[in-house]
């Protein structure tokens, strides 16, 4: 597997490329133009600038997360073709700097959703937390609390300027059912996948987080059956998955190792993290060590290893350790993700050793 690290760019995070170079095993940087909102043109000069920063430190630029999809595409408005054309233009530009995988999602209104950004764990660290009972019919109070809690940092899919128009967004999605959202996703894929085949970039959709509908909005990438339905929309090897154990793991009914074994040939990007799911539906993110949460991380890695996985992997959200939440993007501290990499590579190396012994 190709280990990577999500990086938010020079001056946009307290974690530098020189920090990342000191983490053993990291071969690539997962990057984006994080100031770009969905539907905005990505200028070639900006793309090249960031790519040059990454390659200058010896890293691969192969994975971009994310090129966000405009709401007009998800809703199916007549203006969607304009935004799809912009998306195609971005795909073509990214191909010129060595990008091989684009991670994106098709979640209505919200990206990943939590009700608390820095919930304290028994050991004194803190992490992203989801309280199911806090998801009411009116999301405005929760949105304002989360945006305030994020402080100086923006969070992907939670851009304040966009969520300031929350009532308008909900009104626009009022008639979007699960079937219609699938149909709009198929329309999008039928436009972009031929271009991806031409320039050799694979699209890797991220599952919904959490893995169930919220605020009455449909969520369509949440289980084995919905993933199969998605892959059948456009049956091309360039239409694939970002398999996120933290997102899909919020639903204990999802057998994550079995899903990896079934879909491994269409998983192009793996987000590996752990969540502890409580009986009432609440969950909190914990260390990558499997026994600390509800995700059997070692079995997840084993499922990839069995199938000779050579795609891209990154440690996903981590806890905030040793007071780093004071200057840390929610979910994206340095220390726990670095330890997560060592855990994942340790499991992988042990499986290599067992295989070699045979």
List pLDDT tens digits, range 123-180.
999 999 999 888 876 788 777 877 777 777 766 677 777 777 888 888 999 999 999 9
- Looking at the predicted structure, is the pLDDT value of residue 265 above 90? yes
Is residue 261 a contact partner of residue 227, using CB atoms and an 8 Å limit?
Answer: no
What contacts 55, CB < 8 A, 6 or more positions away?
61, 98
Per-residue pLDDT, 164: 79
Question: Which pTM value belongs to this model?
Answer: 0.94
In this predicted model, what pLDDT tens digit does every residue of 197-243 receive, in sequence order? 999 999 999 999 999 998 889 999 999 999 999 999 999 999 999 99
Q: Which residues are catalytic?
A: 206, 244, 271, 316-317, 332
β-pairing, 2-6 with 312-315? parallel
Dist. CA 111–CA 208, nearest whole Å? 8
Enter the CATH code of domain 2-357: 3.20.20.150
- Looking at the predicted structure, is the pLDDT value of residue 286 above 80? yes
Beta-bridge mates of residue 50: none
Dist. CA 328–CA 325, nearest whole Å? 5
Residues 62-98 as b/e (b if ≥16 CB within 10 A, e otherwise) read bbbbbbbbbbbbbbbeeebeebbebbbebbebbbebe
Backbone angles phi, psi at 234, to 5 degrees: -140, 100
């Amino acid at each position: 597997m190709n280990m990577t690290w999500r990086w938010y760019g020079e001056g946009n995070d307290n974690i530098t490329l020189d920090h990342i170079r000191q983490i053993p095993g990291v071969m690539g940087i997962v990057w984006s133009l994080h100031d770009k909102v969905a539907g905005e043109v990505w200028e070639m000069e900006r793309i090249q600038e960031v790519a040059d920063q990454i390659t200058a430190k010896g890293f691969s630029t192969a994975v971009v997360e994310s090129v966000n999809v405009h709401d007009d595409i998800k809703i199916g408005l007549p203006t969607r073709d304009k935004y799809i054309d912009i998306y195609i233009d971005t795909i073509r530009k990214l191909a010129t700097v060595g990008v091989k995988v684009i991670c994106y999602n098709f979640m209505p209104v919200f990206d990943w959703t939590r009700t608390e950004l820095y919930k304290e764990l028994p050991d004194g660290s803190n992490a992203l937390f989801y309280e199911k009972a806090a998801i009411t019919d009116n999301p405005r109070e929760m949105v304002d609390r989360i945006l305030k809690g994020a402080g100086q940092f923006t969070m992907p899919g939670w851009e304040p300027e966009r969520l300031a128009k929350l009532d308008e967004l909900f009104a626009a999605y009022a008639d979007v059912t699960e079937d219609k959202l699938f149909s709009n996703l198929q329309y999008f894929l039928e436009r972009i996948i031929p271009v991806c085949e031409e320039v050799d970039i694979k699209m890797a959709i991220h599952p919904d987080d959490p893995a169930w509908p919220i605020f009455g909005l449909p969520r369509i990438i949440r289980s084995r059956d919905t993933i199969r339905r998605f892959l059948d929309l456009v049956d091309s090897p360039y239409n694939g998955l970002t398999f996120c154990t933290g997102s899909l793991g919020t639903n204990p009914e999802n057998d994550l190792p079995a899903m990896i074994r079934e879909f491994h040939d269409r998983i192009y990007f793996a987000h590996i993290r752990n969540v502890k799911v409580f009986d009432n539906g609440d969950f909190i993110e914990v260390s990558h060590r499997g026994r600390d949460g509800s995700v059997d991380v070692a079995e997840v890695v084993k499922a990839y290893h069995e199938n000779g996985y050579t795609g891209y992997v990154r440690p996903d959200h981590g806890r905030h350790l040793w007071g780093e939440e004071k200057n840390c993007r929610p979910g994206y501290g340095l220390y726990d993700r670095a330890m997560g990499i060592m855990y994942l590579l340790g499991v992988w190396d042990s499986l290599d050793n067992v295989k070699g012994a045979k």
